[in-house]
Amino acid sequence: ISCSTCMFCEGIAVNALSCLSCNKTTCTTCLASQQRIHNGRACVSGCEIQKFEKLSESQQAHLHFLRFKCKNRESGCKAIDMMYGEVYQRAIDHQKKCLFQQFLCPFKCTGEDSEVQKIIGNQIESHLKDCPELEEICPGCELQVKRAKKSSHDCTQDLKLALAKEREASRRLERDFGVNYSEMQARCPLDHPLLRKR
């Protein structure tokens, strides 16, 4: 039923708004996000006049008598099916904490299609144990290294690169803000004093 489903996220419309031209419904936050992306125009129907308002009282009342299925049922969620749906507010509450929601990997690891991997909520912990983009501290040099690059990581070479980046950052600060790093004591990641070239 169109007044219960968001035209963007396809979940249950939270704080639902309706397009006055086509009557399609959206979550308030989904609409705001789409309007930012598309310069104020967001309706998927491409309506000439795009004005959104809260659902009418009769539409809102109708929502409380509907039954809903979780949008994550294809990912394995059976909670709603077992109860033959949920009334509106309970369905929204379930949707917010459903363990079968899909998320993009927070470390932006990619699959074979070069797209950022999608993870089902209840698999996040196991994914993070193997995520190749997660950074770990190297016990040899204490630099943070991505798991995927751990086998090719060269402590000496990477420390030199890190030091070069620090020096470049120092030069930028000195140039842009007048910070005089020559008067400060530099230290390496292992807390060894570094001698500055004169």
In a domain, 33, yes or no: yes
Q: Tell me 123's DSSP state.
A: G
Residue 112 lies in a domain: no
Any domain includes 25: yes
pTM score > 0.85 for this model? no
* The pLDDT of residue 73: 83
- For residue 27, the one-letter residue type is C
Contact 50, 21 (CB under 8 A): yes
Number of C-beta neighbours around residue 48 at 10 A? 8
Residue ranges making up the domain that contains 17: 1-66
Judge whether 16 lies within some domain: yes
pLDDT of 131 > 90? The answer is yes
DSSP states along 126-162: HHHHH-TT-EEE-TTT--EEEGGGTTT--HHHHHHHH
For the chain, the domain total comes to 1
15, pLDDT greater than 70: yes
Q: What CATH number has the domain bearing residue 23?
A: 3.30.40.10
Q: Which of 103, 113, 102, 106 lies closest to 70 in space, CA to CA?
A: 102
Q: Averaged over 171-176, what is the pLDDT?
A: 82
CA 120 centroid distance within chain: 13
Contact 18, 2 (CB under 8 A): no
Q: For residue 52, is it within any domain?
A: yes
Dig out the tokens for 17 from the structure: 């708004």
In this predicted structure, what is the pLDDT of residue 1?
A: 42
The reported pLDDT for the residue numbered 160 is: 92
Residue 43 lies in a domain: yes
Asked whether residue 146 carries a pLDDT value surpassing 80, the answer given is yes
Of 7, 44, 49, give the one whose Cα is nearest residue 28. Answer: 7
Would residue 58 count as lying in a domain? yes
- Residues 49-83 have pLDDT tens digits of 888 999 888 877 777 777 777 888 888 888 755 44
Angle at 50 between CA 44 and CA 52, to 5 degrees: 95
Q: Is position 87 within any domain? A: no
**How far apart, in whole angstroms, are the C-alpha atoms of residue 6 and residue 26?**
4
